[in-house]
Every structure is written in structure tokens, then in C-alpha cells.
């Protein structure tokens, strides 16, 4: 077993107002905590991992090339591998959530992403 204490976990801000924290990671799955400030958006992107997005607090709009959906507290969405998507905090408070990636991905995704 590997325990990760939130206060000691690896974290960074891909952009101002957007925080990511690595909660667990491995080849088969990785789990990341995130916070997004009101109006903060991740750019349209894709990756080779399936993704479950869970909104714990706040309201987030998830967009793909073919649809848009608004997730509220405790709502989730599944994004298939290589499916372009983005997320934007459309509420007036910060969004808090969890991302689960299958298989696991490098926590450096947003640090090393180009375009």
C-alpha cells in the first residue's frame, strides 16, 4: 500500500486559478484532484487515457466536438481515449473535483503539453 497525504502530494498550477494534485498513480490508473477558479477553462485537448471526471463542488461545463454538458455537484462524465474535450468552470465559486485516468497517465501532462 502507498499512502499519499494531500498536504505532501505533488501539485502544480497549469494556469493561474487552476490547481492539480496527484493523489495516486500507476501504470493501470491515476487519480488527480483539481480546483478551477470561476471562468477558468482547460483548452480543448485529448489523451490516450480514458477519463472519469467527477465534480465534487461547483458547476462545470464539459465540451467535446459533438456535445456540451453541465456537471453539478457529485455529477460525473466519462471521456473515451483520444476524444477531444475541455472543461470550464461556469459557476461563481471554485470547482473542486477528481479526475481518474485509465490507464494511468503522467502527472506532468499539463506541464509538458504542447498545443
All structural domains of the chain with their residue ranges: 16-106
Summarised one tens digit per residue, pLDDT across range 30-79 is 999 999 999 999 999 999 999 999 999 999 999 999 999 999 999 999 99
Contact predicate 105/40, CB 8 Å: no
Distance CA 76, CA 50 (A): 13
Does residue 115 surpass a pLDDT of 80? no
Does residue 113 surpass a pLDDT of 80? no
Contact predicate 102/31, CB 8 Å: no
Task: State residue 114's pLDDT score.
Answer: 58
Q: Which residue bears the cell 479526475?
A: 99
Distance CA 5, CA 102 (A): 22
Q: What percent of the chain has pLDDT over 90?
A: 87
Q: Which residue bears the cell 494531500?
A: 6
Domain 16-106: CATH class, spelled out: mainly beta
Amino acid at each position: 500500500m502507498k499512502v499519499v497525504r494531500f498536504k505532501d502530494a505533488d501539485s502544480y498550477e497549469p494556469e493561474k486559478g487552476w490547481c492539480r494534485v496527484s493523489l495516486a498513480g500507476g501504470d493501470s490508473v491515476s487519480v488527480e484532484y483539481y480546483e478551477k477558479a470561476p471562468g477558468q477553462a482547460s483548452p480543448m485537448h485529448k489523451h490516450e487515457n480514458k477519463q472519469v471526471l467527477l465534480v465534487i463542488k461547483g458547476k462545470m461545463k464539459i465540451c467535446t466536438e459533438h456535445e456540451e454538458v453541465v456537471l453539478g455537484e457529485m455529477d460525473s462524465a466519462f471521456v473515451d481515449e483520444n476524444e477531444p474535450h475541455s472543461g470550464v468552470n461556469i459557476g461563481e465559486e471554485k470547482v473542486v473535483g477528481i479526475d481518474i485516468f485509465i490507464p494511468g497517465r503522467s502527472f506532468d501532462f499539463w506541464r509538458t503539453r504542447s498545443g
